[in-house]
Structure 1
Amino acid sequence: MNNHENPSNSAKETAQADNKNLMAIAQYLKDGQFGHKKSIPPLEQWHPKHCGAMDLKVKANGEWWHEGQLIKRQALINLFSTVLWKEADKFYLKTPVEQIEIEVEDEPLFVNQVDEIQIEGQRYIQFTTTTDDIVVVDATHRIFMREFAGELRPYVQVRFGLNALIQRATFMHLVQMGELTENEQGQAQLSLKSGNLHLQLDS
């Protein structure tokens, strides 16, 4: 008996299972036509069993990696982003029949566009993510600052406890929409208004 064969076989079987799970989720989403950029399944209504973890990682820079390989197909990333779920500070891909844990370094969503829109005569801030989520800033979708890896970063609340990192170039455009002042400690403070919501962000 070769003792070196078992770990290798086990790793191979795990990789095959991960690939099968990932493709099964992709096929389910396509069959259910949940891949449309504005179509988010009713994840809060689903209560599947936990089915372990797969080797899928969303890095802090926005890259998605599976089995050590960079996922380059944006359409596939967009598809999987629709079933992202957060529970007890862990991240999952969730369908009606299974909930599989994945690794997320910071947050799984990323804002790359900001616009000013008019709704019933009021001006709102609207974000678009790299996965085609549309987020209008309001009382349940607030902008906030949080530290990651020693750096203060801006985020916006999206859905189901998920947040999106506002990427640097987009944040610069956001700054231009607001007013920069100083707080009592002499730190820069950004004041923003979206509808009736007033926000102050310390940097």
Structure 2
Amino acid sequence: MDLTKFQKQIEGSSDKARPLPPVENWNPDFCGDINMVIAMDGRWFYEGTPVGRASLVKLFSSVLKKEEDNYFLVTPVEKVGITVEDTPFLITQWKVLEEKDNSKTLVLVTQTGDEVRLNNEEQIELRVPPEEIRDKDATAIPYVCVRRNLWARLHQNVYYQLLEKAEEKSNGDTTRFLIHSANRNFVIGEVNQSK
């Protein structure tokens, strides 16, 4: 696979009025798998070498598509399979925006610069991470939907920062850690007290 050719296909097909290409509308023939990996830590590798240009990673992430459990890079004329070790995105930063109605919205930022405004309960779910990074108790951590069916895991530093700001609520056996965003509560952690 020629990454330069693939890059030109992506750049030539993007609608300038729209920040992301409409990959959900593209269904080209499958051209095979390439040796590209999105590692557990959010870094992209091609042929075992890190993709060093942030602009190239951002471009490739804009044409990422997930079908069932498989990930692909897609242009209008080409579709290639890649490997994703956990999730394609990692939340590496966060900020709080004050809205016009004086409410506050938590914005989560990925390693590729995608911003997710947390305003719907379906955007976040607790999952047990892969064995390589889970704690000994296999505690579930928050995963966030970035777009379509592409998810991000919170970087450990971001997760701990948000836990410090979280409100604790207990209902007997379970303590939940809640963050408030867009006038809603989001569960970012749970501890079962009966253990």
Amino acid paired to 1:86: K
Q: Secondary structure at the match of 1:51?
A: strand
Q: Matches of 1:109 and 1:172 in 2, distance apart?
A: 18
Point out the structure with the larger helix share. 1
Amino acid paired to 1:134: E
Name which of structure 1's ranges 145-154 and 97-106 shifts more when overlaid on structure 2.
145-154
Identity %: 28
Corresponding residue of 2:88: 108
Corresponding residue of 2:98: 118
Corresponding residue of 1:98: 78
Q: Secondary structure at the match of 1:170?
A: helix
**Quick check: 2:60–2:73 contact (8 Å CA) kept in 1?**
yes
Q: Structure 1: which 5+ residue stretches go unaligned?
A: 1-17
Q: Matches of 1:29 and 1:55 in 2, distance apart?
A: 19
1:20-57 deviations in Å (ceiling 9; x for gaps): 1x22221223344679xx82111112121111111101
Is 1:172 aligned to 2:153, yes or no?
no
Q: Structure 2: which 5+ residue stretches go unaligned?
A: 135-139
Corresponding residue of 1:61: 41
TM-score (normalised: structure 1) = 0.80
Q: Matches of 2:15 and 2:44 in 1, distance apart?
A: 20
Corresponding residue of 2:62: 82
Q: Matches of 2:32 and 2:13 in 1, distance apart?
A: 24
Q: Secondary structure at the match of 1:41?
A: coil
Give the count of matched residue pairs.
182
TM-score (normalised: structure 2) = 0.83
1:196 Cα deviation (Å)? 3.3
1:141 Cα deviation (Å)? 5.7
